[in-house]
Chain A
Amino acid sequence: MQAQEARAADPLPPAHARSLYRAMLTARLIDGEAIALQRQGVLPAYVSARGQEAAQAGSAAALDIERDFAFPTYREIAAALTLGVDMVGYLASHRALWHGGLYDPVASRFGAVNAVVGGPVPHAVGWAMGERLAGRTGCALSYFGDGASSEGDVHEAMNLAGVMRAPVVFLCQNNRWALSVPNERQVAGGSIAARAAGYGMPGVAVDGNDVAAVYRATRQALEHARSGGGPSLVEARTYRIEPHSTSDDTSRYRDPDEERQWRERDPVARLRAELGEAGHTDDTLARVEREARESAERVRDGICARPEPDGDDLFRYVYAEPTDELARQWRAWREEAAP
């Protein structure tokens, strides 16, 4: 089985493309607000997804949120937004109010933010096995990156999924940089999609900045899983425009010309141009853009206004019920140190 290089996809129906544009642009604007909030000291740190909006929105839009479930890592703002996750709750993770964010992962069909590279990938496989065992038709989608593709957990997860024929889609956003290490030093063989063959599953590499291509490839992988065909791997090739995080400095390791070239392939600008060519009027697009801006501003204001966690939260949710020992430490803290 050879990994397929998907051809440029046919455009999406106008209303669908417009809604993806709204999601991608809103995510882009929230991302920008988050970087600004980090500069202002409101967020201790932030990890930008700029440049990866098509890969995320296109794949998330292919999910059926009535029955599917997505397992994110920590750079999935556009996927979260597309699935309707409460974005203030999502950014609560970046404001250090709660590690996993403060949205409901079950209701959102979107797992808690997870900062261990490759860690959640086997969770998606287990969830998918359980869904099949329950006789249901939902699929799991696992987000991970080119860096995670080097982790042993990703291998174990893919092999398990292949053996169990679990209904899971492995969605790799290959953004070319795992912090400071480029694909050439990360991905032996040069293609993550090609690895699918070794697990007996379909693998496809798509232009990750083409939202229609990502959407269609993910959709096809989900249909394959839903119809009993088992797992597949979609590699969305894209680029991390911003540094790894707001604490990172790309000038130490990458050529600014490369960044400039990828900025010219911006997925949000590209989709806007396509929408214009497809006959959307400037007025229509301006309205979408205004809505996106208003929405991003609401999220910004919301995260700034979100109250600090309660000191007692330190002791909560460690066990279903606090153990006697934890309750003792909690009492001692309240007596001696609580503000």
Chain B
Amino acid sequence: MGSKLTLGRAINTGLRQAMEADPKVLVMGEDVGKLGGVFRVTDGLQKDFGADRVIDTPLAESGIVGTAIGLALRGYRPVCEIQFDGFFFPAANQTFSQLAKIRRRSAGVLSVPVVIRIPYGGGIGAVEHHSESPEAYFTHTAGLRVVTAATPEDAYWAIQQAVASDDPVIFLEPKRRYYEKAEVDTDATLSAAPPLDAARVARPGSDATIVAYGPMVKTALQAAEADTERDIEVIDLRSLAPIDYDTVADSVRRTGRLVVVHEAPLTNGVGGEISARVTEECFYHLEAPVMRVCGFDTPYPQSRLEEYYLPDLDRILDGIDRAFAY
């Protein structure tokens, strides 16, 4: 039997399931205990699992990820919360130079199954450092898995799969979609859920493909609905590292046109990589170059300007038009 959950609540429920299933699963971070996190994603967990398993840490991102690594080396599965995207950067050294490399450094003897949860992306009218999309930094680092979720259902399963993964996982939560509600079948079994690294066709179509992920999936779906002349397929990428190119290429071979959408800046973003790869794999199927609709190569703007920065319905439709101009 299912129930209607917000995306934030779905992650909370997924974390609860993971903690019940495995006593080695810990939650740690700033304000995750009594407060339940600034977005309440860990609400109630400390009350039910105790302060030993849901740990309010000092305000120290590098220390959080660094001690999570130590806990993982001792056999635990820590889930760290970084409060906002822009506050990840103090933990970069521990993440890129330690977390991502320990399995390799130890020739496979050591495993560090740490999940780093990060609310990311814009659109909530926040102050500086609270609206960024840092995914490309992570996807450029060998040893990390990078996933996001666009729906409560996906979020519910993905967080449990991330916790169960023996690789470190960067779990990017689309903060402006935290309060979107949908049915989640919490009675289904984890093993029945689609794999963590599989993309999903969110809307079938035949004339062009949009690839989006996280907060942009909803916007892409709205754009597809708004286009009454053309039948647009929307793919929700779900995993950014690795990327499920089979699902993307299969779609592009059918539609011949691809528009990639993300909030992160255009240059050297995930969209550029997808564009290159699709060009390699689908060259003779493409009717037009791969288009990208992305954030600009600027620092994330003050919120009075963010509506110009963020890809919206009009910019995505314009991207589709450009793909049909060939």
Interface centre among B67, B73, B101, B165 (most CB of A within 10 A): B67
Contact partner of B108 among A128, A133, A157, A316, CB < 8 A? A316
Closest-CB distance, A158 to chain B (whole angstroms): 9
Interface residue? A163 (CB, 8 A): yes
A89-105 vs B, CB cutoff 8 Å, 1 = contact: the mask equals 00000000011101011
Interface residue? A169 (CB, 8 A): no
Task: Identify the stretch in A80-88, A202-210, A318-326 within 8 Å (CB) of chain B at 4 or more residues.
Answer: A318-326
Contact of A320 with B63 in the complex, beta carbons under 8 Å: no
Contact of B63 with A153 in the complex, beta carbons under 8 Å: yes
A297-333 vs B, CB cutoff 8 Å, 1 = contact: the mask equals 0000000000000000000111110011110000000
Contact of A126 with B69 in the complex, beta carbons under 8 Å: yes
Give the distance in Å from the alpha carbon of A159 to the alpha carbon of B62 in the complex.
12
Residues of the B chain whose Cβ atoms lie less than 8 Å from the Cβ of A111 = 73
Within 151-197 of A, Cβ neighbours of B (below 8 Å) are at 152-153, 156-157, 159-160, 163-164
Interface residue? A106 (CB, 8 A): yes
Contact of A122 with B106 in the complex, beta carbons under 8 Å: no
Contact of B243 with A122 in the complex, beta carbons under 8 Å: no
Give the distance in Å from the alpha carbon of A318 to the alpha carbon of B241 in the complex.
13
Contact flag A159-B109 (CB < 8 Å), given A119-B97, A134-B74, A140-B70: no
Interface residue? B104 (CB, 8 A): yes
Interface centre among A99, A104, A114, A319 (most CB of B within 10 A): A319
Residues of the B chain whose Cβ atoms lie less than 8 Å from the Cβ of A120 = 98
Interface residue? B60 (CB, 8 A): yes
Closest to B105 in A: A100
Closest to B197 in A: A323
Interface residue? A125 (CB, 8 A): yes
Residues of the B chain whose Cβ atoms lie less than 8 Å from the Cβ of A152 = 62, 90
Contact flag A133-B143 (CB < 8 Å), given A106-B110, A112-B106: no
Number of residue pairs A-B, CB distance < 8 angstroms: 144
Residues of the B chain whose Cβ atoms lie less than 8 Å from the Cβ of A131 = 74
Interface residue? B71 (CB, 8 A): yes
Interface residue? B276 (CB, 8 A): no
Closest-CB distance, B240 to chain A (whole angstroms): 12
Residues of the A chain whose Cβ atoms lie less than 8 Å from the Cβ of B73 = 111, 123, 126-127, 130
Residues of the A chain whose Cβ atoms lie less than 8 Å from the Cβ of B231 = none
Interface residue? B302 (CB, 8 A): no
Residues of the A chain whose Cβ atoms lie less than 8 Å from the Cβ of B246 = 324
Contact flag A124-B70 (CB < 8 Å), given A130-B76, A133-B52, A320-B167: yes
Contact of B70 with A125 in the complex, beta carbons under 8 Å: yes
Interface residue? B103 (CB, 8 A): yes
Residues of the A chain whose Cβ atoms lie less than 8 Å from the Cβ of B97 = 116, 119
Residues of the B chain whose Cβ atoms lie less than 8 Å from the Cβ of A160 = 57-58, 60, 63, 67
Contact flag A128-B70 (CB < 8 Å), given A112-B106, A318-B142, A318-B143: yes
Contact flag A318-B67 (CB < 8 Å), given A130-B75, A153-B94: no
Closest-CB distance, A91 to chain B (whole angstroms): 15
Contact flag A105-B70 (CB < 8 Å), given A130-B75, A317-B103: no
Contact of A156 with B70 in the complex, beta carbons under 8 Å: no
Within 69-121 of B, Cβ neighbours of A (below 8 Å) are at 69-76, 78, 90, 93-94, 97-98, 101-111
Closest-CB distance, A168 to chain B (whole angstroms): 9
Interface residue? B22 (CB, 8 A): no
Give the distance in Å from the alpha carbon of A337 to the alpha carbon of B7 in the complex.
47
Closest-CB distance, A107 to chain B (whole angstroms): 9
Contact flag A317-B67 (CB < 8 Å), given A119-B98, A160-B58: no
Interface residue? A129 (CB, 8 A): yes
Contact of A123 with B197 in the complex, beta carbons under 8 Å: no
Contact partner of A100 among B93, B107, B145, CB < 8 A? B107
Closest to A152 in B: B62
Residues of the A chain whose Cβ atoms lie less than 8 Å from the Cβ of B76 = 130, 133
Residues of the B chain whose Cβ atoms lie less than 8 Å from the Cβ of A100 = 105-107
Closest-CB distance, B15 to chain A (whole angstroms): 18
Interface residue? B66 (CB, 8 A): yes
Residues of the A chain whose Cβ atoms lie less than 8 Å from the Cβ of B75 = 130, 134
B34-70 vs A, CB cutoff 8 Å, 1 = contact: the mask equals 0000000000000000001001011010110111111
Closest to A324 in B: B242
Contact of B74 with A320 in the complex, beta carbons under 8 Å: no
Contact of A99 with B104 in the complex, beta carbons under 8 Å: yes
Interface residue? B166 (CB, 8 A): yes
Give the distance in Å from the alpha carbon of A135 to the alpha carbon of B14 in the complex.
27
Closest to A119 in B: B98
Identify 14 new A-B residue pairs, CB closer than 8 A, beyond the known A125-B63, A318-B104, A320-B166: A105-B106, A112-B110, A113-B105, A116-B97, A122-B65, A123-B70, A126-B66, A127-B71, A156-B63, A157-B63, A160-B67, A317-B107, A319-B103, A319-B145
- List of 10 A-B pairs having minimum Cβ-Cβ separation, nearest first: A126-B70, A122-B66, A130-B74, A156-B63, A126-B67, A100-B105, A323-B242, A123-B70, A320-B166, A127-B70
Q: 20 A-B contacts, Cβ less than 8 Å apart?
A: A99-B104, A100-B107, A105-B109, A113-B105, A114-B105, A119-B66, A122-B70, A123-B69, A126-B67, A126-B72, A127-B74, A129-B71, A153-B63, A153-B94, A156-B66, A157-B67, A316-B107, A324-B245, A324-B246, A325-B242
- The residues of B with any CB-CB pair to A shorter than 8 Å are 26, 52, 55, 57-58, 60, 62-63, 65-76, 78, 90, 93-94, 97-98, 101-111, 142-143, 145, 165-167, 197, 241-243, 245-246
